[in-house]
């Protein structure tokens, strides 16, 4: 028997939660893949008014890896919208957009790869 205390959250309230649903092992793997991609192909980390933009050197395999990573992010971190785009100069970009607490959270993410380190 399950007992609930308080009111159940609505779908809109659940959408507002800023949390990742990956289990620890998968989270570690996802993090390592992002760091590797950033270390090898990352160009810039740009906080935006509605989230974050990471740019990468164009290569078909980099694009494929970005699409795979973004697919996971869209599933586990649905509080943000994750897309892969091409810049005018041909670079690839991962663009994450959210609102309120989601924007603040995005601004703290993806700081470990060399081109994106906040202490560089």
Whether 4 is in a domain gets the answer no
Whether 89 is in a domain gets the answer yes
pLDDT tens digits, 18-66: 667 766 777 788 889 999 999 999 999 999 999 999 999 999 999 999 9
Q: How many domains does the chain have?
A: 1
Whether 85 is in a domain gets the answer yes
Whether 62 is in a domain gets the answer yes
Ramachandran quadrant class, 52 (left: phi over 0; alpha: psi -120 to 50; beta: rest)? beta
Whether 92 is in a domain gets the answer yes
Whether 35 is in a domain gets the answer no
Residue-number span of the structural domain to which 57 is assigned: 45-120
Whether 81 is in a domain gets the answer yes
Whether 84 is in a domain gets the answer yes
pTM of the model: 0.80
Nearest Cα to Cα of residue 53 among 22, 91, 18: 91
- What is the band of 14 on the pLDDT scale with cuts at 50, 70, 90? very low
């Amino acid at each position: 028997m399950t007992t609930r205390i308080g009111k159940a959250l609505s779908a809109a309230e659940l959408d507002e939660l800023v949390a990742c649903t990956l289990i620890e092992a998968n989270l570690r793997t996802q993090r390592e893949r992002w760091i590797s991609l950033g270390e090898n192909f990352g160009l810039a980390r740009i906080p935006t008014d509605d989230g974050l933009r990471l740019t990468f050197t164009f290569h078909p395999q980099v694009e494929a890896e970005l699409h795979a990573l973004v697919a996971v992010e869209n599933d586990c971190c649905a509080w943000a919208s994750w897309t892969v785009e091409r810049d005018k100069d041909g670079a690839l970009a991962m663009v994450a957009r959210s609102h309120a607490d989601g924007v603040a959270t995005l601004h703290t993410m993806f700081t470990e790869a060399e081109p994106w380190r906040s202490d560089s």
